[in-house]
Structure 1
Amino acid sequence: MLLAFSVAPSGTPTGGARPDDASVHDAVAAAVKIVRESGLPHQTDSMFTTIEGDWDDVFDVVKRATEAVGQFGSRVSLVIKADIRPGYTGELKAKVERLEQALSDGSRTVS
């Protein structure tokens, strides 16, 4: 499974957050740290973190990352999108490689 998620605090700042700081980078860093420590294949961009693994492992990481972000606000917003394809691994990179191959294929046009 590939699972992309975005998690952010909202509500009244708690924990280490400053009341006048609208940035959520510290909270996101806490979530990404959980992902990196999990050992699962992952990739983080400006909007989402994508994790690859089996159902239980992936959702355990998302749960722990969400709990870490919860330390920064009275509420947490969580967005999840999953690609569940049993029997496939290595798709975090393979899907992008297939896309790049399709884009570089001279017989196809992109408009």
Structure 2
Amino acid sequence: MGKLTTHVLDTAHGRPGAGIAIELYKLDGDTRSLIKRSLTNDDGRCDQPLLEGEALVAGEYELVFHAGEYFAAAGVSVPQPRFVDRVVLRFGIADATAHYHVPLLVSPWAYSTYRGS
């Protein structure tokens, strides 16, 4: 059974990104359809997979992480507009039976991702 999960790490403070709002969209050409909203827990993860089983289908998706709001709530002083605000990751799922883990490493000045396990 396939699933989609994520994990956010605050690389500026060396800790999980707790309380970060996340939106998941399914893409169909130029059309974005909101599938789910979630919030990261104290470990920087969502309590449940974002998608799993029959809900996970092959195609293109987008995760939007509200990192700027997270850093503002943590008291980080950054200029306006924020350099890193909403982090948008577009990715494809080719095998709906596989586990796709999309971690985000983020600071107020940079971010990176990879396909995890």
Give TM-score, length-normalised by structure 2: 0.31
Q: Which has the larger radius of gyration?
A: 1
Q: Which has the higher helix share?
A: 1
Higher relative contact order (CA 8 A, sep 6+): 1
